[in-house]
Structures are given as structure tokens and as C-alpha cells.
Structure 1
Amino acid sequence: MRKLRKFIVKNAFKDFLPERSDFEIIEEKLPKPRPGEFLVKAEYISVDPYMRSFASEQEPPYEQFGFQVGKVIESKNDEYQVNTYVFSHSGWRDHVLLTDHPDDMFKIKPYKPEIGYLPLSLAIGALGMPGITAYLGLLDICQPKQHEVICVTSAAGAVGSLVGQIAKLKGCTVIGFTGSNQKVQFLKQELGFHYAFNYKMDNVKECLSTSAPNGIDCFFDNVGGNLASIIMENMNELGRVAICGSISTYGQESYRQRRPKTRVSVRIEAFSFTQWNWSQQCAALTDLREWLQKGIIKAKETVTNGFEELPDTLIAMLNGDCVGKAVVKI
């Protein structure tokens, strides 16, 4: 009898960082596809910051949710042929039986990613949710203009690293904040950020007075907390703030961010990639794929091998130990 493996979260996360013991692998019988179904073997599974924030809304035990891309190995659905690759939000499991119905959390229908000759792992990174988030969050909400100044937090992460590169393409001056000197060098030397700072060691106010003496026009925030408040206090009149995440406050449901002391009119909008329709998302993916194929932008990945390593990879990513997109090769 064939079996599948999947991770369940058996304990609620007590602190910001989960513990390895909060997760457990269980096995189940691997069923045969029925009419309309197809069986996918996972190739890459994603770990992302939203897994920590959304965990506060779940009641253990529950199956760990997440994005993955895999190969169809059996099918009774003509739209999903054997040996084709499929992207889905079907969680941390090494095999999954799917239909063409959307998932419960994000309402995403399984689809066949168009990646050309690029690495398959990009389907859950720069050519998946993080890429769509960076592209549409920046261009639709911040709407950067040439010669404007944009600031990005968690700038060496899966989303932030793309935001900065896209902003450069639009002719902006790009400032990135990250959490280590290694990542500062990555942003400046590999991605070409105009300025990059380690917010854990550098004086943020002094950094901004040096890099943005005339103020900030766009702010793409992935962190929240005091860092975000300080940056917002340096916004220009009619500046735009896109709030993508607030990882510094995840696991602190009672946290209240200090209100920035700003004397100008600033538009602040929190968003999710799901607010854009499939046509808009596809347009974003088309541009991102072209830029990646031409080498105009880079997609950095931290790849870990082994299904069993998923919890430790999530913890490492949340702890800031990964550069770019964290993925696990199954």
C-alpha cells in the first residue's frame, strides 16, 4: 500500500519562533485518483512569513498549509496530464490528490506554471506568490515614478529583494533595510541597491538622513514595528506606503505600533496579493519571467533538501537566516 506523508501542527506556537517539537509527520494511505482528480508528487515546498501570522488563527492540531509545485504522476483529469507540473496551495505533504477546485485559504485554483527554462523552484518564489506580491504591491499601490526615493524593509527577503530591483528598473533610488552585514553586502553588490543598512546595528535615523536627505516617496514595508514608524516619519508629502507584512510583530497579538509623527499627507494601504484578479497576476508573472530570462533581475534562493527539514527551514527563515526565497526540495 502506497502512503503519503504530511506535517501537522500539534501545538500552538508560544513565541514568535515555532519549535521543532510543534510539528509532527503523519502517514496516510495514498488513494488512487477518481474521475476529475490527479495525483501530484511534490518537488518543491515553500516556507513563508504568512505561515507564522496565520498560525494565530488556527486551532491545533491542523495540517500545515503552504505553497508547493510538483509533478503529476497519475491523472483522471484531461486538463492535468501526467508529467506536467502543477502549482497549488496544498500544504506540507509529499503527495497530494487535487481537483481543479480552488483551495480554501487563498481561493487559488491549481495551475501549470509557465517558467520556460528557468528553475522549477521559482514557481513558488519569483514566479509565484512572492513575485506577484512584489510586482503588484509596488507598481499598483506605491506607483513609483522616475527619480523618486523608495525604501524597502526585509529587503533581502523573497519579496523585498524583488521590490528593490523592480524599483530600480523604474528609475528610482532604492534604500534597503535588512538584518545582517552579509545581507547588506548582498543588496549592494549583487542586486545593486543604492543604499543598504543593517537596522540591528546602524542608527536608522542617521541612515535615512544620509540616504534620503530630501525624504522618502514610497515605502514598501514587510516588517512593521518601530523601524516602520521611523521610516514613515521621513515620508514626503503625498508619499505612498504599501504594507505587505509586519513580521516583527507576529506572535504578539496585543502589539500596538507607535503612531508615526508625520506632518504630511501620506497614503497607507495594507494589501494581499489575492486582491488582484488572475488576469492581473498573469500579467505580473509575464513581466517577471521576461526580466528573469533576460537577467534584468535576479531571484536569490536558499534551498534546503529533504521533506523532514521543512520545520527547521521555516524557523531559520523567520529567524533571518535565509537570503532571498527559502524553499525545500523534496
Structure 2
Amino acid sequence: MPINRQIVLDNRPQGEASVQNFRLVTSETPPLQEGQVLVRHHFLSLDPYMRGRMNDSKSYAASQPLGEVMIGGTVGEIVESRHEGYCVGDKVVGMGGWQEYSVVDANQSGVLRKVDTSRVPLSAYLGAVGMPGVTAYYGLVHILEPKAGQTVTVTAAAGAVGSAYAALAKARGCRVVGIAGGYEKCRYATQELGYDACIDYKEHRNEVRSLSQALRDACPDGIDGHFENVGGWIMDAVMLRMNAFSRMALCGLIAGYDGQPVPMANPSLILINRMRIEGFIVSEQMQVWPAALKELGELVAEGKLRPRESIAQGIEAAPEAFIGMLKGRNFGKQLVKLL
């Protein structure tokens, strides 16, 4: 059986996460039992939710146990099978974690899913046609419920969720405005992702009123629906531009992932505008995944969704790439290539 290199959580962060919280270990993959398959991972996914799991505190998901392989989405191929439903060479997506191989009990429902790479690249099943894409779909379609002609906005606009959000919203006839960090990300958002406008929050230096004015210029009819990934002062600026009876899908609060509270400056706006704010976890909404993946796969295959990927090379690069993603250094979906 092959030697497997793995990244485990060695210790919990105190404040900001660092590469010192992780440790590279090596182990032998065990022989397969009946019903199991051996998956060789090609890519692993790095996502913001992983930061919350590093803490030993109450959250919507269980804390990552110390000394165990970091949880995470993976795509790869079957290299050995003792399950009649999977053949060597099948491409699959699962939750193999930060390691080069995984032994999977394929009899368990939902742990592996075969994917078609004839029209959609394998890596896309961790991004646009995976959890980030479905996240964008659920927040937009089932919470924001936009009508053609309405204005919708999103933070982290050039990321994996934001990329899919733009394509899905444009397909529904919306005006789509993004917020991202840096000129290049904003240029990419408007020139390649189809945003009608994108605001560089870095130009506004934590000034809520300044960013709110930029949003007023980009959204002259106000904001009907907003998808929030960041929180903090950026969310405060968006709140000032929300219309009456507007809606907000609350997906992430990156501003608070280091354990600090993320206060809301003006919660009275929720009442004034009769807003609906709904937090959600996409893994709890499995009923929408088939429809979401079908639409997202078609958008990618037809070239209407062209997400960018940041790819780190090798399992040992995962911790540094993860920290960089939390600091906004990635461009699009952050992946680690293992093969």
C-alpha cells in the first residue's frame, strides 16, 4: 500500500492562525476491506470555514480534533477498489481531508460522488461546481430570491463563492455589484466574471461612510439583496444602502474568524428597512444540491462561468496557502495540487 503524507492540526491558534498550528506526518495506507476504495487525491480544497473548526468553541460544526487529519474537500481518482460500484480510474469528489490518499467506505451514503470530467475540469468540482457554487446558489435563489432588474451585491466578489454568485445572478437578469480587495480583483470581476461594477474596499481604508458612498454610486437604485461573506465595517457600509424589504444571506464572517467579536454598527437599519437576514449552512440544504450542480455545471461547460483558481503545489504547501487565503492573498478558489 502507498505511503500517505498528511497534514494534522497540531495545536489550536491563539488569535490569528499560523503555519505552526499544523504538522506534516507520514503513514501507511491500510489494506482495503470489503466495500472500501482507495482514492488518490489530485486536489484538495482550502476554505474559510476551516478556520472556525480550528477553535475549541461552539460553532455550527464540530471542532477539528487535535492530531487528526485536517478536514476538507478533495477530488481524485479510484486507484484500488473492493466495491462493485467503483472502478479504478473513476473520478470522485469527497471529504478526504488534507492528505494524499484516503481509504473510504463506499457503502456509506454521500461520502463519495462520481463526477464527469468530459466537459467540466476535475478541480471545478471543489469550486464552481462544488460546495462554493452551491453556497452561492442557495443564498441567491432561496434566500435573496431576486427578480429581474433588481440590484444584488456580494462581498469577497472575486472568490470561489462570489464567482458563481455573479454568473447565477446575471442569468436571472440582475444588476450585480461586487466588493473585493484590490484593483486586479475588481478588474477581473468586471471583465471576466460579468459584474456590472466592483468596488475596491481597500481604497476606503476602513471608512464606512466612504465605502457606502461608493456603493451609492454603483447601486443608484439601492440594494435589494446582499450576500455576506466578510462582516465588520464592510457589512456596515452595505447596510446603509439596503432598500426597504431587502434581504441578506449571511454565509460567512471572515472578519471574526480569529475569535474577536464582530459588532454591527447600526442594527436599527434592520427594523427601519424591514430587512430579512438569514444565516445558513449549505451542508444542511442537501435538497438543493442536484439542481444547483446541474445549473452550475452547465454554466461552466458553456463558458458562462470562468472562475480563476489559485493553486499551491504539494501537500506541504497547504498550511501556508491556507493562511494566505484567510488574509485575502488568493485569487479565486484556493486549491492545493497533489498530483
TM-score (norm 1): 0.93
**Residues 1:14 and 2:14 are matched in the alignment:** yes
Aligned to 2:311: 303
**Residues 1:60 and 2:66 are matched in the alignment:** yes
In structure 2, how many angstroms separate the alpha carbons of the residues matched to 1:172 and 1:254?
A: 33
Aligned to 2:123: 121
Aligned to 1:227: 234
Letter in structure 2 aligned against 1:209:
R
Letter in structure 2 aligned against 1:205:
S
Q: Any residues of structure 2 matched to 1:175-214 within 5 Å, and which?
A: 175-202=177-204, 203-214=210-221
Give percent identity, aligned residues only. Answer: 33
Number of corresponding residues: 324
Structure 2 unaligned regions, length at least 5:
57-62, 205-209
**Residues 1:271 and 2:280 are matched in the alignment:** yes
Two-structure CA RMSD over aligned residues (Å)? 1.6
CA deviations 1:204-245 (Å, max 9, x no partner) are: 111112112331100001101121122122211111100110
Aligned to 1:31: 30
CA deviations 1:35-84 (Å, max 9, x no partner) are: 01010111110100001122124353332110001111111011121110
**Residues 1:282 and 2:281 are matched in the alignment:** no
CA deviations 1:226-268 (Å, max 9, x no partner) are: 2112212221111110011011111125443334341111111
Q: Any residues of structure 2 matched to 1:123-142 within 5 Å, and which?
A: 123-142=125-144
Q: 2:48·2:254 contact (CA, 8 Å) conserved in 1?
A: yes
Q: Which runs of 4+ in 1 moved over 4 A?
A: none
In structure 2, how many angstroms separate the alpha carbons of the residues matched to 1:130 and 1:85?
A: 19
In structure 1, how many angstroms separate the alpha carbons of the residues matched to 2:27 and 2:193?
A: 44
Letter in structure 2 aligned against 1:25:
L
Instruction: Give secondary structure in 1 for the equivalent of 2:112.
Output: coil
Letter in structure 2 aligned against 1:319:
K
Instruction: Give secondary structure in 1 for the equivalent of 2:166.
Output: helix
In structure 1, how many angstroms separate the alpha carbons of the residues matched to 2:326 and 2:332?
A: 12
CA deviations 1:161-200 (Å, max 9, x no partner) are: 2112211121111111011111111111112211111112
Q: 1:233·1:261 contact (CA, 8 Å) conserved in 2?
A: no
Of stretches 234-243 and 254-263 in structure 1, the one that deviates more from structure 2 is 254-263
In structure 2, how many angstroms separate the alpha carbons of the residues matched to 1:214 and 1:190?
A: 24
TM-score (norm 2): 0.91
Structure 1 unaligned regions, length at least 5:
none
In structure 2, how many angstroms separate the alpha carbons of the residues matched to 1:55 and 1:180?
A: 28
In structure 1, how many angstroms separate the alpha carbons of the residues matched to 2:70 and 2:266?
A: 34
Q: 1:245 aligns with which of 223, 241, 252?
A: 252
Of stretches 180-189 and 113-122 in structure 1, the one that deviates more from structure 2 is 113-122
In structure 1, how many angstroms separate the alpha carbons of the residues matched to 2:106 and 2:245?
A: 43
Instruction: Give secondary structure in 2 for the equivalent of 1:231.
Output: helix
Q: CA deviation at 1:301?
A: 1.0
**Residues 1:98 and 2:104 are matched in the alignment:** yes
